[in-house]
A and B are shown apart, each in its own frame.
Chain A
């Protein structure tokens, strides 16, 4: 199975609500990254959290990392319709490869 697994697979919320997506992984990592994808095309890097960090913020994004549980969460606060997209976590081990999860499809309803 994939190194990174997100849940839920799909999430539908109303504009203004917070959205939380989770990611679990299996092996030790160097860092964990979250990406966003619109319309099945190129991915855009959102945020990176290193293995020695526990929480990181960027604008309306908050990422947490629990290496003991091998899990991470991405919180989007005060969601907007424009946040509708697929969100992927990706883990980086000692090599340079990123291993992506299956993604969470977020729909924010106006």
Chain B
């Protein structure tokens, strides 16, 4: 597609349930990032994938959070046993191949607004 897409755009779930958030990066982009943004706050880094390298998971807040990237393209962020404090907008971004100008700029999707009741 022309840009980064995310689904669903909104997700309401009950405390304790698992959720999966999906990100489709720009075709050809080798890097993919997940961020979390609470209301009125800045972006909190969660996880980063670059090609076939091991992902940088240093931003994941707990072991309830996990992400995978299949075939170097689509990524899924999974939150298990959701808590109310997980409510936030989850943003995905991708960037071009390392060593190119596009590598420095991140292209963001519209985000998934997660509400945990």
A contacts, CB < 8 Å to B:
2, 4, 31, 33, 35, 40-45, 48, 88, 90, 92, 95-103
Contacts and interface: CB of A to CB of B under 8 A. Distances in A.
A40 B88 CA distance: 10
Nearest to A89: B42
A90 B33 CA distance: 14
Contacts, number: 58
Given A96-B31, A96-B50, A96-B98, A45 B45 contact: no
Nearest to A92: B104
Contacts of A48: 104-105
B25 interface: no
Nearest to B43: A100
Contacts of B42: 2, 4, 88, 100-103
8 contacts: A4-B42, A40-B39, A44-B108, A45-B107, A95-B56, A96-B103, A100-B35, A100-B43
